[in-house]
Amino acid sequence: MQIALMVEGQAGLTWQRWQDLVARVDDWGFAGLYRSDHFTMNSATHEDALEMIVSLAYAADHNAARAFRSARRAGFIS
Q: List the domain boundaries for the chain.
A: 5-74
pLDDT for the residue 11? 80
| 16 burial level (CB within 10 Å; 0-12, 13-18, 19+) | exposed
User: Is the pTM of the predicted complex or chain greater than 0.85?
Assistant: no
Highest mean pLDDT among 2-6, 17-21, 61-65: 17-21
Tell me the pLDDT tens digit for each residue of 35-53.
887 666 666 567 777 888 8
Give the residue, 14 or 65, on which the prediction is more confident: 14
Tell me if 22 sits within 8 A of 59, measured CB to CB: yes
Task: Using alpha carbons, select from 40, 10, 25 the residue that is nearest to residue 70.
Answer: 25
Q: How many CA atoms lie within 13 A of 39 on its CB side?
A: 5
Q: What are phi and psi of 59, to 5 degrees?
A: -60, -45
pLDDT for the residue 60? 82
